[in-house]
């Protein structure tokens, strides 16, 4: 692709089509300088079982590029997206592989890629999800992953006779998943007090101001340090001041934690601190944010721990609802899609917890989600002739 100075730039792109036993390959595209084959493979592998858990007809895949959208002009983003789609278009289609967004890929990028796909193929079809509502998108898709992670936490807590009402919660990240986790937490009467980005974290003991957060991240697309200009009572800690390099979000005492930034952002030390401070619920909006050691600590403490493949499946589930609306040339209202999302999250919880019981470890939703997700895919592969 050509940058604004007329220079040729080269980035590497990936699409891993992992399993299509249950439906077309489905999973997001990530644009971040850290992207490599290993990251896309782990995300694609998780995606197979996550998509199976939703109960919908979707296989698993993932893709992206080491392109860094930060600091690029709109025109550069557009030219990169067009070049990326020029390579990708021959591998995807509404019945073969339907990519969506992920880190660094939101509505703007989906728009540029959709336009280029249409230009190359001459077809107007549901080849991507996360599209703008004006041209084939679904209501609630933007909110779905964050809302879903909160619905999943509510299901886990309800089974323990608890609720999120009046509870202090911590959230990491400040992108698509984090913003709508914060929004839904307010709607259910909880108080989210933290958010973070790659440069630092905000702790606002009065509760994160949602309007300011959206203005900084969705409109200005800048760093969280600007939050304290509007809310001088809040605390901003830059990454350079994180103690022992650990994300400060996890040292804030909370009832429930919602890791919503990226993989491996919550270590064993962080898990110990959360547990020591009385945290009894962790619902993962991000993919594999807790390290394996942190997961073991949550499981040993028998807290309500929802692994990403179950807790953040609301995003892909709503993407499938977008595909259904596209295929049927239909358009459902907000309450209809939100109602379906809520129902899907409840079903994922029930399926995971019943499978955990069946295998003798009732509070272990990692075991339950892994086995429930795997069984359906494995059965389908065998029934289709072991292909």
Per CB under 6 A, residues contacting ligand NDP are: 101-104, 145, 173-178, 197-199, 260-262, 285-287, 312, 315
Q: Which is nearer to ligand NDP, 13 or 289 (CB)?
A: 289
Measured at CB, which residue is nearest to ligand NDP? 175
Q: Which is nearer to ligand NDP, 183 or 197 (CB)?
A: 197
Dihedral class, residue 207 (left if φ above 0, else alpha if ψ from -120 to 50, else beta)? left
Q: Which is nearer to ligand NDP, 337 or 363 (CB)?
A: 337
CB of 196 to ligand NDP, least distance (A): 6
> Which residues are known to be catalytic?
62
For the stretch 206-214, contacts whose Cβ atoms lie closer than 8 Å and that sit 24 or more positions apart, written own/partner, are 206/231, 206/233, 206/234, 208/171, 208/182, 210/179, 210/182, 210/183, 210/186, 213/174, 213/179, 213/182, 214/179
Q: Which residues contact 377 (CB under 8 A, 6 or more apart)?
A: 19, 21, 22, 48, 49, 52
Q: Which is nearer to ligand NDP, 62 or 363 (CB)?
A: 62
CB of 261 to ligand NDP, least distance (A): 3
CB of 40 to ligand NDP, least distance (A): 11
**Are 308 and 284 contacting, i.e. CB atoms less than 8 angstroms apart?**
yes
The C-alpha atoms of residue 317 and residue 249 are separated, in whole angstroms, by: 28
Q: Which is nearer to ligand NDP, 126 or 173 (CB)?
A: 173
CB of 163 to ligand NDP, least distance (A): 24
Q: Which is nearer to ligand NDP, 101 or 368 (CB)?
A: 101
How would you class 42 by CB atoms within 10 Å of its CB: exposed for 0-12, middle for 13-18, buried for 19 or more? middle
CB of 126 to ligand NDP, least distance (A): 17
CB of 308 to ligand NDP, least distance (A): 7
Q: Characterize 207-232 residue by residue with b for buried, 16 or more Cβ atoms within 10 angstroms of its Cβ, and e for exposed.
A: bbbbebbbebbeeeeebbeebeeeee
């Amino acid at each position: 692709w050509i940058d604004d100075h007329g220079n040729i730039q080269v980035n590497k792109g990936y699409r891993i089509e992992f399993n299509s036993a249950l439906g077309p390959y489905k999973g997001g595209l990530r644009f971040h300088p850290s992207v490599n084959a290993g990251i896309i493979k782990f995300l694609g592998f998780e995606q197979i079982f996550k998509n199976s858990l939703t109960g919908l007809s979707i296989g698993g895949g993932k893709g992206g590029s080491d392109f860094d959208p930060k600091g690029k002009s709109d025109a550069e983003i557009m030219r990169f997206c067009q070049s990326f789609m020029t390579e990708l278009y021959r591998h995807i289609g509404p019945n073969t592989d339907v990519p969506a967004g992920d880190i660094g890929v939101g509505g703007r990028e989906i728009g540029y890629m959709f336009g280029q796909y249409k230009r190359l193929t001459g077809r107007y079809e549901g080849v991507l999800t996360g599209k703008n509502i004006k041209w084939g998108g679904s209501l609630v898709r933007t909110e779905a992953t964050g809302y879903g992670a909160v619905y999943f936490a509510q299901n886990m807590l309800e089974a323990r006779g608890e609720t999120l009402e009046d509870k202090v919660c911590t959230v990491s990240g400040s992108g698509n998943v984090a913003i709508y986790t914060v929004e839904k937490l307010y709607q259910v009467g909880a108080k989210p007090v933290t958010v973070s980005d790659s440069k630092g974290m905000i702790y606002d003991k009065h509760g994160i101001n949602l309007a300011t957060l959206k203005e900084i991240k969705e409109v200005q697309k800048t760093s969280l340090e600007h939050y304290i200009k509007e809310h001088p009572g809040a605390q901003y800690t830059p990454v350079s001041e994180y103690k022992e390099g650990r994300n400060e979000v996890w040292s804030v005492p909370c009832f429930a934690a919602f890791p919503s930034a990226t993989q491996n952002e919550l270590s064993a030390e962080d898990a110990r601190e959360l547990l020591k401070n009385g945290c009894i619920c962790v619902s993962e909006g991000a993919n594999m944010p807790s390290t394996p050691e942190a997961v073991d600590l949550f499981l040993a403490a028998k807290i309500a721990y929802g692994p990403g493949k179950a807790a953040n499946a609301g995003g892909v589930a709503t993407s499938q609802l977008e595909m259904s609306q596209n295929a049927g040339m239909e358009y459902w209202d907000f309450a209809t899609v939100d109602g379906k999302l809520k129902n899907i999250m409840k079903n994922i919880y029930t399926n995971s917890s019943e499978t955990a019981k069946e295998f003798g470890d009732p509070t272990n939703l990692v075991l339950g989600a892994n086995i429930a997700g795997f069984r359906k895919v494995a059965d389908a592969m065998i029934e289709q002739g072991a292909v």
